[in-house]
Amino acid sequence: RGAGAAAMAMNLSRCNTPGGNAGGTGEPLGAKLAVLHKIASMQQEIQRLESELELREKELERERARNTLACSEGTSADDLNKLDLELQSAGAALPRKTSAPSGDATEVKKIKKKTLEDLHREIRLSIAKVSIVSGEALRSIDLLQICLVSSINGEQYCLLERDCFDMSTSERRGFIMPLRRKIRLGDDWRVTLRKTFEEKIGIDPPMQEATFQVDEESYFVSHTQEASSDYPQLQTVTQLHQVVVRVNVKKAQRAGVSLEALGLPGGNDFVTREVCADGRQRLHVWCWTNREQERLELVGNFGKYLSARGIDVSRFGKGSMKSLYQFYVEVHEQRESAIREVRDIAGTQKFELLRTVSLLEVAVVAEIGFRKLMLVSSDQYLDDGRRRKVNQLFVYKLRFGENWKDVMPRAFSERLNVPEEVQKECFEIVEESETYKETLRQSTGYPIRTLYKVWTVTVRITNALHDGLSEFGLPEGSSFVSQEGRLGPNQRGRLHVWTWASMEGDSRQHVFSTAYEELCRTLQDVEDLVLQTTQLAQAESLGLDAPLAQSLEKIQACLAKVTDIDTMMEEVDMAGLRSSQMEGATERQTTDLLDFIVSNYTRNESLAARGHFSRTVSQFNSIDGVEEMPRKRQPGMELLEGHLDDWGVDILEVASRADGKILQCYGEMVLGCFANSKLRCGSDVARAFLDKLASLYLDNPYHNGAHAVQACHLARWIAKSIGLYSSQSSLERVAFILAALCHDVSHFGRNNAFCISTLHPLALLYNDQQVLENMHAATCFKVLYSDHTLNMLGSLKRQDRSQVRAQIVECILSTDMSEHFQAISKFRVRLDSPDFGLERPIDRRMLAQMCLKGGDIGHSALPWGMHVMWAQRITQEFLDQGDEEKRLGLPVSALCDRNASSDLGNSQRGFIHFVCLPLFEALGGFGKSALKPPPGENEERLSQDHEFETSGDEESVRHVNSITLRRGARRREKTDSAVQLHLITSLRANATRWTEDADTVNRILGELGVDPPPAAPPPEETSEA
């Protein structure tokens, strides 16, 4: 103890502390006395610690006994020899003879035995483990390094250990390092943190709570593998856990806790005593050092680490390269990047050191003036005044180990200055938009390659009119500037310039857009701009209010006509002919000529509306009650009863039990109820029509009677879910159901392109225009008009019969897929019109056509098992057509070549994404559901979000989406329809499964006689250090 105190005194005489203590020869006597006084104070502190030690030794008695037993067991010759043999087998045996300082052979043997004992003791105490990996002996340890920081005289100081004295051997180890301790295997670093403070510097848990503040965000783990100074024959793998702990001096003072034992608040050196697990005692000498000195040493070690792994450290700080210090701060303090060792990046078996950076890229989307715009950062101004041209989305660098979902609110708050409360109200994350990719390229600021891990996600602004977004450039879509951090030298603050740019992936376009839609959007934007201009105070003072009002009125009139393009094209202005009488002609002759022109050169529906076809009042648009027709019990009805309003009815299962009468069974349940009431044809006529219709559906794999029922069921479900069915009159429903049941009648398993290329008689008959659709519609009415016992429309008034026929023809022709995108485009434009509503017959007709189109391809949104069966059937038809095209010597149509159909998963996924989703997204923006949730994995969630009620044939609920105009921007009322909640979700889920469920795809290909695609290559092997 005396030797240790003397050595400590000599060391203290050389110390320079923040308090200015110094000692040495030639200094005044007062300074020497001050040093002696400090030594005396430390001796008193040692005595105090000795008294406390006696109490603490009793508490640690059991643990010391266990550890002593472990150490004593470790000294047995058998265990040491066993450990020695294991090391020798890996070529890392400790030498039998080492050079001792005294040259004494006995001393050499002692050193050899002690080395093995130390290694064995570490293993027994679970602070190290030895493993043989690929014939190499590895020693693995976990170290906790604590950076204890305190503010002293306005500057940041860190606690470092300057000396350590072993009281049993009087050995002194001089070094400067932060507070460290080995972590026992299986222990959490926080537990080790508390034990380290208590056992190494004598701070008990209550004092830790009152004094210390752990910076959880600073926690960092690094890995190294190198030869140990204690065991040079072994490679030691060290997992270093680093964390910053701050001393809250003011908090301790308020709590009445004295920090003199830590040398605070003056920053004096101090001494502590530690009792080790094996009973040994050590004295630790601590000093407070400016953090910059600590950093310089750590940066030096960091540079050695990089250099040992092939990084040219000399390139740091040269030219455009950042300094090694900046790299260290980025990795270890800011944690904005990490160091990773990856195998075989360049095709070799060596490890390459990579800098890994995690980025969050956000596409912030808002609807502004009928257009989807995306937020883009155009410029950045750094704290030194430099300007950077970026032109990128919102990009935020993630810290090591952070999850982007947890970071996003903070990122928007820091960079865009949007409070989290406003984010919760107005921002919606589009979960299905999340993508992840990795990009490896050379760093621009460091002599090391960087692996960029990028998460990209879309955030939709649901309420652009919120007052909290006024500084966000909304709702006008104006450019704005935001400040991030503090501006000033070395503050890392910056200014961001943001603009709202046109978005290529407009939801109204999805994957396509027509010139018609662009024209309508342009007119809507012009209307908004003129409207905003009229609201300016200067407009009236300049006398522009009247011209602007007239311009706005004309633009709105033009927009109303363009958005209802079909009606405008059908109507012909006869005002000139009506207002002027032909020379030499009487008024009666002029009227007759006008009627002739309208009847023969325009659509004649206007005449029907004027009553030229029937002098009785039409019932086509009236909504009234429906009487039930007594049903003839058909096989399979029990599977449908009570489930007509369920999306996921297994029609193929019903067809298998219906003895080939699936169409009669379903048709009687959904159509028969109108036979005795509105149609007045009788139940026998309805059944006879259904029997004849079913006989005309051929036994194709896909286009058969079951498909007609499936399409009718899904179309009817969609019509109910968006509120159309309840707004239709009884005759409109009859026309809708008949069109659905007849839309593929007499289909022979080939498409229009095949008919045209083979000069099929139908193609010649219909001049290559909607060949099959025209045939289906014509066949429907041939059946109806072929015999009065089949004519369900025979008892209707002439005008009503004409209207029913017109709607059936329209609906069947709308299933022509060659006009799929044009139909969606017109529907989107019409949907944005302010006067769009279910009270207008033309809008109901358009919706009915869209619902039937959805039912026709709706199997893609069925539960996975049902969807797969329908997909296999349509693929079989395609392959059969391709086989016939080969026999005829014709070019094989797309997706019909049996030798090129192995990529079934991607083709089905593409069909869902590019054909189905645009249609269902357009339908999903309209109406609320009043039905049961479709069965499946989302049923529980749907039942919690919305209440669904079973709806009959005569629903009275009518939902009309409203469009409001506010601050110069229209916004449709947002509703979560069943199409949005379930069908679109199911479509995306099925699309994903086509690329993930390789077993199902291969099974289908095998059953179709197609070779499966080759297996994907295994991923590259990587390891992290």
Question: Quick check: 367 pLDDT over 90?
Answer: no
Q: What is the DSSP letter of 706?
A: H
Question: Quick check: 100 pLDDT over 60?
Answer: no
> Cα(1012)–Cα(1003) distance, rounded to whole angstroms?
9
Long-range contact pairs involving 58-63 (C-beta distance under 8 Å, separation at least 24)? 60/275, 63/277
Beta strands in 12-135 (DSSP E): 129-133
Q: What is the predicted pLDDT for the residue at 115?
A: 63
pLDDT band at 18 (very low <50, low <70, confident <90, very high): very low
Distance of CA 670 to the CA centre of its chain: 41
Amino acid in position 151: S
What average pLDDT is seen over the chain? 76
Question: Quick check: 830 pLDDT over 70?
Answer: yes
Higher pLDDT, 954 or 204: 204
Which range of 227-236, 425-434, 635-644, 956-965 scores highest in mean pLDDT? It is: 425-434
Q: What is the mean predicted confidence (pLDDT) over 293-316?
A: 81
Closest by Cα among 813, 822, 835 to 918: 822
**Region of poorest pLDDT, from 461-465, 841-845, 889-893:** 461-465
Q: What is the mean predicted confidence (pLDDT) over 233-262?
A: 84
Bin 347: left if φ > 0, else alpha if -120 < ψ < 50, else beta: left
Q: What is the pLDDT of residues 773-817, one digit of tens each?
A: 999 999 999 999 999 899 999 999 999 999 999 999 999 999 998
Q: What is the pTM of this model?
A: 0.49
Angle in degrees, CA 482, 487, 492, rounded to 5:
95
Question: Quick check: 927 pLDDT over 90?
Answer: no
Q: What is the predicted pLDDT for the residue at 54?
A: 67
Question: Quick check: 537 pLDDT over 70?
Answer: no
Rounded to the nearest 5°, which phi and psi values hold at 982? -115, -50
Q: What is the predicted pLDDT for the residue at 676?
A: 80
Q: Would you call 223 a catalytic residue per the annotation?
A: no
Which tokens hold the place of 146? 């604590």
Q: What is the mean predicted confidence (pLDDT) over 881-897?
A: 91
Are the beta carbons of 485 and 442 closer than 8 angstroms? no
Place of tokens 């012009």: 526
SS3 assignment, position 1001: helix
Rounded to the nearest 5°, which phi and psi values hold at 882? -60, -40
Question: Quick check: 742 pLDDT over 80?
Answer: yes
Question: Quick check: 945 pLDDT over 50?
Answer: no
Given 241, 284, 510, 703, which residue is catalytic? 703
Question: Quick check: 244 pLDDT over 80?
Answer: yes
Place of tokens 């004519």: 791
**Burial letters 92-119, b for 16+ CB under 10 A, else e:** bebeeeeeeeeeeeeebeebbeebbbeb
> Cα(984)–Cα(795) distance, rounded to whole angstroms?
41
Q: What is the mean predicted confidence (pLDDT) over 461-487?
A: 81
What proportion of the chain, given as a percentage, has pLDDT over 70?
72
pLDDT band at 1011 (very low <50, low <70, confident <90, very high): confident
Residues in Cβ contact with 577 at an 8 Å cutoff, skipping those fewer than 6 apart: 590, 593, 594, 597
Question: Quick check: 207 pLDDT over 60?
Answer: yes
> Cα(205)–Cα(195) distance, rounded to whole angstroms?
9
Question: Quick check: 696 pLDDT over 50?
Answer: yes
> Cα(230)–Cα(232) distance, rounded to whole angstroms?
6
Angle in degrees, CA 637, 641, 645, rounded to 5:
125
> Cα(708)–Cα(812) distance, rounded to whole angstroms?
12
> Cα(501)–Cα(247) distance, rounded to whole angstroms?
49
Distance of CA 281 to the CA centre of its chain: 56
Q: What is the predicted pLDDT for the residue at 852?
A: 96
Closest by Cα among 741, 808, 750 to 774: 808
What would the DSSP string read from start to end of 716-752? HHHHHHTTHHHHS-HHHHHHHHHHHHHTTTT--S--H
Which tokens hold the place of 955? 């629903």
Distances in Å between the Cα of 247 and the Cα atoms of 208, 242, 257 are 9, 17, 12
Rounded to the nearest 5°, which phi and psi values hold at 745? -65, 140
Q: What is the predicted pLDDT for the residue at 782?
A: 95
Rounded to the nearest 5°, which phi and psi values hold at 701? -60, -40
Question: Quick check: 617 pLDDT over 70?
Answer: no
pLDDT band at 762 (very low <50, low <70, confident <90, very high): very high
pLDDT band at 427 (very low <50, low <70, confident <90, very high): very high
pLDDT band at 299 (very low <50, low <70, confident <90, very high): confident
Amino acid in position 657: R
Closest by Cα among 734, 736, 733, 738 to 780: 738
Rounded to the nearest 5°, which phi and psi values hold at 87? -70, -40
Question: Quick check: 755 pLDDT over 90?
Answer: yes
pLDDT band at 92 (very low <50, low <70, confident <90, very high): low
Pairing of the two strands 338-343 and 281-290: unpaired
Which tokens hold the place of 258? 């004295």
**Partner residues linked to 131 by β-bridges:** 138
Q: What is the pLDDT of residues 164-200, one digit of tens each?
A: 888 877 788 777 778 889 898 888 888 999 999 988 8
Cis before 409 (ω within 30): no
Amino acid in position 830: R
Residues in Cβ contact with 475 at an 8 Å cutoff, skipping those fewer than 6 apart: 368, 464, 465, 469, 967, 968, 969
Q: What is the predicted pLDDT for the residue at 105?
A: 38
> Cα(942)–Cα(978) distance, rounded to whole angstroms?
9
Q: What is the predicted pLDDT for the residue at 586?
A: 57
Q: What is the predicted pLDDT for the residue at 710?
A: 96
Distances in Å between the Cα of 729 and the Cα atoms of 89, 713, 801, 832, 930 are 90, 19, 14, 24, 18
Q: What is the mean predicted confidence (pLDDT) over 66-95?
A: 60
Q: How many CB atoms lie within 10 A of CB 770?
A: 19
Q: What is the mean predicted confidence (pLDDT) over 845-852?
A: 94
Helix (H) / strand (E) element for 608: namely: helix 605-610
Closest by Cα among 885, 892, 894, 943 to 915: 894
Which tokens hold the place of 622? 């009236």
Q: End-to-end distance of the chain based on CA atoms, in angstroms?
A: 43
Are the beta carbons of 652 and 869 closer than 8 angstroms? yes
Cis before 475 (ω within 30): yes
